[in-house]
Structure 1
Amino acid sequence: MSSTTVSLVNGTVLSGPINTTGDGVNSTPTAAVYEEPHENLEAILVPILFAIIFLIGFVGNVTLIFTVLKNKSLRNTPNIFVVSLSVGDLLLLLCSVPFSSTLFTCFSWPFGIFLSKFNEYMQTLSLGVSVFTLTALSGDRYIAIVHPMSKHTGKPTLITVVTVVGIWILSAALAIPEAVTSNVLYFEGGAPIDNGNTTIVPVTLAICKIYPENNLPVWYSKAHSMYRFIVFFVIPHIVIAMFYVMMARILVISSKALPCESVKGSAMNQQQNRQIQARLKVAKVVLSFVVIFVVCWLPRHISILAGHFADPEYNMFWHVLKITSFCLTYIYSCVNPYALYFLSSQFRKYYNRYLFCCCPKGSYIGLAGGEHLAMNNFNSTMRRGSTTCTGEVHSQFICQDCQR
């Protein structure tokens, strides 16, 4: 969204932000003074931020995927969804971040029509995979807490894999409109250079737009932006909220109905409490993912909807909101692995092992807070044939028996 000025062939001088992000705010250039892109602070800071996002997100998501695939004990239902989430984020980082970062540095879109369409398609694909996977994760936690015995019947792993594949197919289908409508608009003209005299240098300005006005009806941008908000935000979060309300209700009811009269009943009570706490902690991890998604994506939806429906005057507030919300959507693609690092002691243990593999063994073990000892105890317990997990271990994304 760099400030641009173009002197068209008819002599009209046009300028304004390059609107490649679908906000709709002041999408038509207006008369103004030409400003070189490198003179904008954002032309320097935003690409640096995108480079940091790319590096941190790539390392975090690759580590998470590698951790689950390498360790058989981690291949349970919640982690299959988490891996799907990371694959979607990783694809967005690899396929979209390098191109989107140039929007703040280049005078015009340099990559052509195909990459314009591909960039918008990947953004919507990743959005769909993220929000629908979070919805499926919430549903999985609802089943684990409200109907725990159903997790032991049928083929839960196969059902999970089929669900993940279905999410990707649905997301890919819902992203097709972006690939169809996105286009590059070319303006033949020139840019003025201040060399003592006003000189017009012939240039071709290319602007990548998701809603090119010359190819679409006037109402389409409003309808499509509202459709994206409802399908990719409102409906999934209503479903997620319903799952968590029902989970909260059953947890309150079950806590009042636990037996506690005899010694045997007390033992059963403790075991049931451990199981409930284990499932509840996993549900809290999923809920944290949902909160992160809302924080990172709600400003973007607000910016787009306000631009199309409120038609505000483009000023510094909207400029900052557009840039901030645009960056937050990419920041989301790198935060989930690190959220899991802080919320799950077992993932933290594996992260430390793989990320600090070149360090002395004592260094990364210390970072895990001694959790390697708990894992050793867990492994020895499992070798003795026990199916009961300790409170520290089974509460994380690790023990399949206690997760279900």
Structure 2
Amino acid sequence: MDTAEVLLCVLMVVIIIVSLLSNVLVLICFLYNPEIRKQVPGLFNLNLTFCNLLLTVSNMPLTLVGLVSKAQPGGDGFCQIVGFLETFLSTNSMLSMAALSIDRWIAVVFPLRYHSKMRHKDAAFVLGYTWAHSMSFSTVATCLSWVGYHRLYASCTLSNPRASSRTQFVIFTVFFHSFTFLLSFIVLCFTYLKVLKVARFHCKRIDVITMQTLVLLVDIHPSVRQRCLEEQKRRRQRATKKISTFIGTFMLCFAPYVITRIVELFPAVPINPHWGIVSKCLAYSKAACDPFVYSLLRHQYKKTCTDIINRLLKRSSLNASGRGYSIDQTPQPKRTYNLTFSGIQVRLLGTLCTSF
């Protein structure tokens, strides 16, 4: 093995470890916290976590074995089963991300009708479609013997060694990626850009209220004024960063692999073998990123992880959370300022800006 292959093996091992630990942690939080289980997005997160975990324990180790041994892991029948799982799980993961974006779109754009538009049975219907969609493509590919060991990716995946069915395989591959990757990407862009538009609109309204308050309260303490302005700036950037993360990680992880699969259909275009493995590792890395992007960095999951740790350490969760304060907030002492405006005395708490 050359240096590049050794680095790729190390990268694959890191991806497997991070993906396994993070997805197991998300599953533990889901089982531990009844509030997460009651929420509709929790079903989509559970499905995404299930797909990522199964992909981590079934396909990633065999790809690592194929990379090290430079040979097919197991027989043809075993490789077809693994390839079926790889096609099914990767498709299901993409559609689950699209389902999560639709849920956020409805929650933000139609907040008053969210509970009537997105109920648990509606979520079950969406998940049923993702499973049917994934199962249909993977079944067709397996039945037509278009699943096998692919040396370029050192894994059992979509592959067509027969020249007689090349045209049909090309049509299937283009159709498959158009209705999985491209469809999911379009849904992500449409929904999250709508969410960003609404978020920016509300931020502008809040900024106007904040600035009007700061102008009226001419005697406000400088530290409070500065904290309000800093919070106003962070609020404007927060929604953009989150949505950029959702769409950016999807494109960064899946686009290189999908583009490589499309370019591969043209025999005249050479593809570096190392690049094939790199694109596969990027696609696998999405399973390691998803727990942090969609779950573990959220306040509810952070609090659940803290409660679990406190319980394991036999400490009171209530004391650890600061007597009712959020775990990622430090209780600030309240300071009171007496301001006179138009002959009327106003009492202002120093933490006023945090309510905007």
CA distance in 2, matches of 1:169, 1:131: 13
Q: CA deviation at 1:173?
A: 1.6
Aligned to 1:230: 178
Q: CA deviation at 1:184?
A: 5.5
Contact 1:297-1:329 within 8 A present in 2 as well: yes
Aligned to 2:113: 150
Contact 1:345-1:371 within 8 A present in 2 as well: no
Given the alignment of the two structures, is residue 56 of structure 1 paired with residue 13 of structure 2, yes or no? no
CA distance in 2, matches of 1:352, 1:48: 31
Contact 1:138-1:240 within 8 A present in 2 as well: yes
Among 89, 97, 108, the alignment partner of 1:126 is: 89
Number of paired residues? Answer: 304
Pairing of 1:4-23 with structure 2 (within 5 A): none
Contact 1:92-1:126 within 8 A present in 2 as well: yes
Q: CA deviation at 1:246?
A: 2.8
Among 300, 318, 335, the alignment partner of 1:346 is: 300
CA distance in 2, matches of 1:321, 1:179: 26
CA distance in 2, matches of 1:361, 1:307: 56
Change (3 A) 1:250 1:42: closer
CA distance in 2, matches of 1:169, 1:210: 19
Aligned to 1:106: 69
Q: CA deviation at 1:107?
A: 4.2
Query: Over residues 162-213 of structure 1, what are the superposed CA-to-partner deviations in whole Å (9 max), with x where a residue is unaligned?
Result: 322331222122222332324568xxxxxxxxxxxxxxxxxxxx99673333
Aligned to 1:71: 33
Given the alignment of the two structures, is residue 305 of structure 1 paired with residue 242 of structure 2, yes or no? no
Pairing of 1:148-227 with structure 2 (within 5 A): 148-153=111-116, 156-180=119-143, 181-182=145-146, 210-214=158-162, 216-227=164-175
Aligned to 1:96: 59
Counterpart amino acid of residue 306 in structure 1: V
Q: CA deviation at 1:250?
A: 3.9
Aligned to 1:11: none
Change (3 A) 1:151 1:327: same
CA distance in 1, matches of 2:186, 2:156: 33
Structure 1, 336-345 or 222-231: larger mean CA deviation: 336-345
Contact 1:112-1:184 within 8 A present in 2 as well: no
Change (3 A) 1:284 1:184: closer
Counterpart amino acid of residue 249 in structure 2: I
Secondary structure, aligned partner of 1:153: helix
Change (3 A) 1:184 1:215: farther
CA distance in 1, matches of 2:182, 2:305: 34
Structure 1, 104-113 or 86-95: larger mean CA deviation: 104-113
Among 271, 274, 277, the alignment partner of 1:323 is: 277
Per the normalisation by structure 1, the TM-score is 0.63
CA distance in 2, matches of 1:372, 1:87: 35
Q: CA deviation at 1:236?
A: 1.9
Counterpart amino acid of residue 300 in structure 2: Q
CA distance in 1, matches of 2:302, 2:3: 37
Aligned to 1:81: 44
Counterpart amino acid of residue 194 in structure 2: M
Query: Over residues 102-146 of structure 1, what are the superposed CA-to-partner deviations in whole Å (9 max), with x where a residue is unaligned?
Result: 211224314112221122212221221111111111111111112
Structure 1, 69-78 or 238-247: larger mean CA deviation: 238-247
Secondary structure, aligned partner of 2:264: helix
Change (3 A) 1:295 1:148: same
Secondary structure, aligned partner of 2:266: helix
- Compute the RMSD of aligned alpha carbons: 4.2
CA distance in 2, matches of 1:162, 1:289: 23
Counterpart amino acid of residue 213 in structure 1: P
CA distance in 1, matches of 2:297, 2:25: 16
Counterpart amino acid of residue 43 in structure 2: I
CA distance in 2, matches of 1:209, 1:124: 7
CA distance in 2, matches of 1:164, 1:290: 21
CA distance in 2, matches of 1:281, 1:65: 26
Change (3 A) 1:236 1:215: same
CA distance in 2, matches of 1:141, 1:209: 32
Q: CA deviation at 1:101?
A: 1.4
CA distance in 2, matches of 1:182, 1:326: 18
Contact 2:40-2:118 within 8 A present in 1 as well: no
Change (3 A) 1:374 1:152: same
Change (3 A) 1:321 1:184: closer
Given the alignment of the two structures, is residue 241 of structure 1 paired with residue 189 of structure 2, yes or no? yes
Q: CA deviation at 1:252?
A: 5.0
Secondary structure, aligned partner of 1:88: helix
Change (3 A) 1:244 1:208: closer
CA distance in 1, matches of 2:92, 2:238: 23
Identity, in percent, stands at 19
Contact 1:78-1:140 within 8 A present in 2 as well: yes
